[in-house]
Amino acid sequence: MSKYNIHTKIESNVSAFDLFYDLSVYKTDGSNKRHVLLSVMQQPINQNYQTQSHETNETEDDFSVIYIMEITLYRKHGGKLVSVLSSPAKKMYTLGEMATGQTYSKKKRENVCYFEAKAQTKSVNDGGDENIHNLQITCLERTFVAKEYPIGSPNDPFDNKKIQSQIVSRVIRTSYPNQGGTSLCGPASFFYCLQLDRPDVYKQAAIELLIIGQTKIGTLEISPGDGCRHPKGSFYDNAGRELISGLDWITLAGLRDSENAIMSYDEIDDQVSGITVWGTLTKWFEKSGYEKIFDNISISHSNIADIIKLNSYVKQGYRVITLISAGMLKGWGEGDSSSKNHWIVWDQPVCKVDGEDITLQDGNESIELKLFSWGRVDWQTKKNISLNSFAEHVFGGLVFKPIK
């Protein structure tokens, strides 16, 4: 068990003598239980605008574990402390970053900021009412704007209230990442696992992407380009139903576009630019703090022994992500189902239809699998699919230890 000293810094043009802060550092696990590493209230800011150095509680966490740093800022007015932020400022850091003083960005916008207007107000017109004055305020442009749905449009997919509502539904697990008709199943699998294991990190990453257009999860930097932040195409079908939510575009397309050195992911119906190979998917997980336990991804299909091996990891609580042919899923139709074209996450082990475990001798037995795909966690394999047929639709899997 170890303790660490943590501090951060704010940006302000107000005298440091008049500024105070609450500082909280915590993480939230998959059960939405909060674990507090540090909590102090109404502390004075140092003259260099740094907070004081505060000792944390004891922890066994590795330096790669991600925490949320939350600051409430106060200004002294007439002997009273008045909160000056509309809501607490939050930022993600790994324990290693906090322990080594890396809790401040060179980009002013990414830090806790509080500024007061110092310029003297001027009359709107020299001969007019001297009680009417004009003060110019700079407002940053919104990061994500859809070309067909400008700001103010009733169907604007990136409306702040709409996105915040979608984030809440993810945190309480009434909805899950859904790539719709896009080829973003790889990013969807990654963000689904993050949603289960660290809902606070999922939420903070989405908010940072929405507000500043970039985020960092562990050492995974997500910074979509201009095209992705101003996508073309329709977000709705002819019946007015969402093809992909604004939240899923921000997170899923944002992540995929950050990896595209040549092609920009900037259209709703773009299939090629969204395809994710297993090396890239592995990198996303590992940079975010996941530990890879096992990998049997292959260009050829799996056998029954491979499926039983993956089952053993699901039973131990690991995250199992497999590359499949989507033809094994309900609703796919009866056409060709031999190509490797979809990523899924297993929710439970593969089992016989009566719930019993599978064995090497059960190749002709009908099986079922509860899995995550296309925004649903359900029993999604086709009815009466045999274990042999299932294995022929699976091309191995990636197994990760859930992050803490």
Query: What is the percentage of the chain residues whose pLDDT exceeds 90?
Result: 74
Domain end: 251, 279, 307, which one?
A: 279
Provide the residue range defining the domain that includes 97. 5-114
How far, in Å, CA of 46 to CA of 19, rounded? 9
Residue 86 lies in a domain: yes
Mean pLDDT of all residues in 58-72: 96
Q: Are residues 271 and 367 in the same domain?
A: no
Domain end: 82, 114, 146, which one?
A: 114
On whether the CB atoms of residues 283 and 190 are closer than 8 A, the answer is: no
How far, in Å, CA of 14 to CA of 49, rounded? 10
The pLDDT tens digits of the residues spanning 145-173 come to: 999 999 999 999 999 999 999 999 999 99
Find the length of the chain.
Answer: 404
Residue 140 lies in a domain: no
Q: Are residues 310 and 272 in the same domain?
A: no
Residue 142 lies in a domain: no
Q: Are residues 275 and 175 in the same domain?
A: yes
Start-to-end CA span in the chain (Å): 16
The Cβ-side half-sphere exposure at 228, using a 13 Å CA radius, reads 28
pLDDT for 1:
86
Side chain identity at 58, as an amino acid letter?
E
Q: Are residues 169 and 268 in the same domain?
A: yes
Residue 134 lies in a domain: no
Averaged pLDDT of the chain: 90
Residue 123 lies in a domain: no
On whether the CB atoms of residues 218 and 190 are closer than 8 A, the answer is: no
Residue 357 lies in a domain: yes
On whether the CB atoms of residues 126 and 94 are closer than 8 A, the answer is: no
Q: What is the CATH number of the domain that holds 103?
A: 2.60.40
Query: pLDDT tier at 332 (50, 70, 90 boundaries)?
Result: confident
Q: Which residue has the tokens 């929710």?
A: 347
Residue scoring higher pLDDT (41 or 118) = 41
pLDDT for 110:
75
On whether the CB atoms of residues 49 and 55 are closer than 8 A, the answer is: no
Q: Which residue has the tokens 């939050």?
A: 90
How far, in Å, CA of 2 to CA of 342, rounded? 43
Contacts of 372 (CB under 8 A, 6+ apart): 176, 189, 192, 344, 345, 346, 347
CA dihedral angle for residue 290, residue 201, residue 167, residue 220, rounded to 10 degrees: -60
pLDDT for 372:
97
How far, in Å, CA of 264 to CA of 270, rounded? 10
The first and second tokens of residue 377, run together, are 């966690």
Residue 301 lies in a domain: yes
Q: Are residues 303 and 390 in the same domain?
A: yes
Side chain identity at 51, as an amino acid letter?
T
Query: pLDDT tier at 276 (50, 70, 90 boundaries)?
Result: confident
Residue 129 lies in a domain: no
Q: Are residues 327 and 275 in the same domain?
A: no
The first and second tokens of residue 65, run together, are 């574990």
Domain total in the chain: 3
Domain end: 228, 247, 279, which one?
A: 279
Mean pLDDT of all residues in 177-196: 93
How far, in Å, CA of 74 to CA of 84, rounded? 6
pTM: 0.90
